[in-house]
Every structure is written in C-alpha cells, then in structure tokens.
Amino acid sequence: MPAFAFRKSSHSDPERECVEVATNVPNAVAVRDSKDPDGRILRFTPAAWAGFRDALVGAQTSSRISRRYTTENSAPTSSNSSATAVP
C-alpha cells in the first residue's frame, strides 16, 4: 500500500492543532492529529468521509444561522408561536 500523503487545510494556522487528511490512496481517506503525526490514523471509505464532511458543513451552517438569529434577536417565528430568541 502506498504511503499516505497528509495535508492540512489552507485555513489552518501553522501553529495550531489541526487534523490532517490524506486522499492519495485509492478507496481510503486517512485522518490524523497534526500534533502527533506518528500517532494513530483513522481510515474511512471515501463515501463515509464525504458523509462525515457533509454533516460537519451542515452543522456549521446551522450554527452560524442560529448564532445570527440569537445575536440579532430576530428569530423567525410563526404567527401562532410564542417563541423568542434568547440573547
């Protein structure tokens, strides 16, 4: 099996702890902790990795929307709802 070629996101700070991902090996996506490059490696199928990544992106989007409505105190409500945003 070829060696994994790990990379960090271009959004990562070089001094921060990040995950590194390798996609160069067919039918495998490998993930490791950048603080411990000789440590354990998690291996995913490409489909499992795509599902995980999509779930994270969806959670981040939901979190941004939630923070925006909470910050602006303008959460949308239906006409028969008594819900209000909590600052």
Tens-place pLDDT, residues 19-57? 899 999 999 999 999 888 899 999 999 999 999 888 888
pTM of the model: 0.61
The pLDDT, as a whole number, for residue 80 is 41
Residues paired with 31 in a beta bridge = 21, 42
Among candidates 15, 19, 16, which has minimal Cα distance to 7? Answer: 19
Token pair in block for residue 23: 């996609």
Which residue did the predictor score with more confidence, 87 or 7? 7
Average pLDDT over residues 75-86: 39
The pLDDT, as a whole number, for residue 26 is 93
Mean pLDDT of the chain: 75
Domains of the chain by residue range: 19-72
DSSP letters of 14-71? Answer: TTS--EEEE--STT-EEEEETT-TTS--EEE-HHHHHHHHHHHHHHHHHHHHHHHHHH
